[in-house]
Structures are given as structure tokens and as C-alpha cells.
Amino acid sequence: MQQRQLGPFTVSAIGLGCMNICHAYGPPVPEADAERLLLTALDAGVTHFDTAALYGFGASETLVGKVLAPHRSRFTLASKCGLFGADLKGDGQLVRVIDGRPATLRANCEAALQRLRTDVIDLYYLHRWDKQVPVEDSVGALADLVREGKIRSIGLSEVSAATLRRAHAVHPIAAVQTEYSLWTRNPEIAVLDACRELGTAFVAFSPVARGFLCGPLDTSAFDAKDIRRTMPRFAPDNFVANQRLLSPYLAIAQEVGCSPAQLAIAWLLHKAPHILPIPGTSRVDHLLDNLGADAVRLSPDVMARLEALINNKTVAGNRYTEQANREVDTEVF
């Protein structure tokens, strides 16, 4: 597989997002299936695994640690802090919390090290900037963890170019992670260029547009807890409008000779050398299909046609709800 720079690390150009095994798109997969997925990815050449405290409220980190700790020297490990599950009422029910205070980030890290069964996390992101805490304070706390040898590098998730620059002035930022695909083009406003200028890698999550760019979807079949049920682009009217983009997109994939998912990931790989997509999946067949994007070559003409077909003006609906939009710091069209 192609190799790209992720801060100080050289990793596979396509990584694995480890949210889907326990969070967001349905019930957690059986542990044996998660183990098979992670080990298949490792054996297929994936050397960039991305997880977070939020995913399954620690379940993803626990699985990654249990399965991959014996192979720790073979891959670069990324996780995230500052967005997690907390028992606020003392009734055993965990709720989603954003907290970027230094003491909280340190506690997040200590817990993550235990779950991941490692002495050091290679890349540790501030999962959300807590707007009640200056980003300089949160990054300063992570810089202390670098100096103590608990983490090797610092990342930020869902931030603007301006916030990236503020953080980078405190400590070098190895990576910014934000949603980026043909149907979510917000990074093109400013943060992609800022990353290029600062030498920061850009990690693209949801590169296949929450599954939309994999082929026809039946939204009525989504699990009751599937996060797409609340996403505006999957609301009935918007989804009908967006489906009109799919047929010409699938025709381009057929013309290129690749799967729809491969086309979406290959588009990202062709956009710039500092972009690293991390498609997530719970299925081995989808994993192997995604990794096949590494061999897909797209002409400038195909790139231009894709971008003219699916972009911020042709996609109906916002990527997030109003509440979720308030929690992120990314630029918007």
C-alpha cells in the first residue's frame, strides 16, 4: 500500500476507523468478528488504527487494546480525548460529555492507556474543542503528556484553520481529523491549506459519506440507534434529492472499473498527499474493498467530473444537526 506521513509517523495511506465495531451505526459486532476485522486489516498492510474514548464509551479502545496489543510495534495508534461518556447523575447511565479541562484530558489519557494496553499513544487528538476552555490550555495539557512520554504527538478534530493556528503556536499539531468526502467539502474552505502550510496531516473520516457513496441505501432499514436517522442529509426529502446523484456516480465507478467505495476513497487520495482517509467498517469484505482504493488511478477528467457532480451546492441538507454543528469548530459554506 502507498505510505503517507502522519505527523512523525509513516503509515499506510488508508487507515482503519474503529468506531463502527461498537458504536454509531448499529449494535456492537460480536467480539470475534471485531477481532477478525482488526487482524485482517493489520495483515493487509494497515498501519494506522484510529479509535476514541467516545466510541462505545470505551468499548472500541478496549477491543483495540485486547486484539492489537500483542502486535503494538507493527502499527501507529491514534485515539482521542475530551469527548467521552460520563455518569453525571450517579445512576450508572453514561452520557456524552465534552470537557477539555487539563485535568480531564489527563484522566482521559490514563484511562485510555489502560484500555489500550499500551504505555504510549502515538497520536492523541482533542476530539472536540471545548469552547469553555481556551484551546491553548487544552493543547498545553496534551503537550505535558508528550513531555511525560504518555503520548507521542497531538491532533485536533473538527477545528477551523484559525483554531489550528492557535493550537500550533503552543505545540506542533501532527494531524487534524475532520469529515471529508465528495459530499462534505468544508475542509476545502481553509483548513486543508492551513494543514499543508503547517506540515500537519489531514485525516479524513467518513470518506464514503456515511455509506451513501457505497451504493443504494435503504434508510428504513437503519438500526434504531443508527446516527444517520438524525442526520439532515438522510431525512426523507433531502435523501430523495441526494439519491439523484447516485446513478451518475455509480456510472463513473463502472467506467473507472472500481467499486463505488473505492472511487470515493481514491478521490481523496488523489486530492493531496497530506490527506489520509480512515474508512470505518464492521465487515471484512467491506474492509478489503476499501483497501483496494489504493490501486485505483483517476484521471484529471474523472476528478473534475466527480467534483462537479457531488459538492456543497448539489448535496441537500446539512451534515449535522444544529446541536452537533454548535459542538464543532469547522468552517461552513
The catalytic site residues sit at 55
Q: Which of 181, 145, 182, 138 is closest to 159 using CA atoms? A: 138
Q: 3-state SS string over the chain? A: CCEEEECCEEEECCCEECCCCCCCCCCCCCHHHHHHHHHHHHHCCCCEEECCCCHHHHHHHHHHHHHHHHHHHHCEEEEEECEEEECCCCCCCCEEEECCCHHHHHHHHHHHHHHHCCCCECEEEECCCCCCCCHHHHHHHHHHHHHCCCECCEEEECCCHHHHHHHHHHCCEEEEEEECECCECHHHCCHHHHHHHHCCEEEEECCCHHHHHHCCCCHHHCCCCCHHHHCHHHCHHHHHHHHCCHHHHHHHHHHHCCCHHHHHHHHHHHHCCCEEECCECCCHHHHHHHHHHHHCCCCHHHHHHHHHHCCCCCCCCCCCCHHHHHHCCCCCC
Calculate helix-pair angle for 135-147, 102-116, nearest 10 degrees.
40
* Position 317, amino acid: G
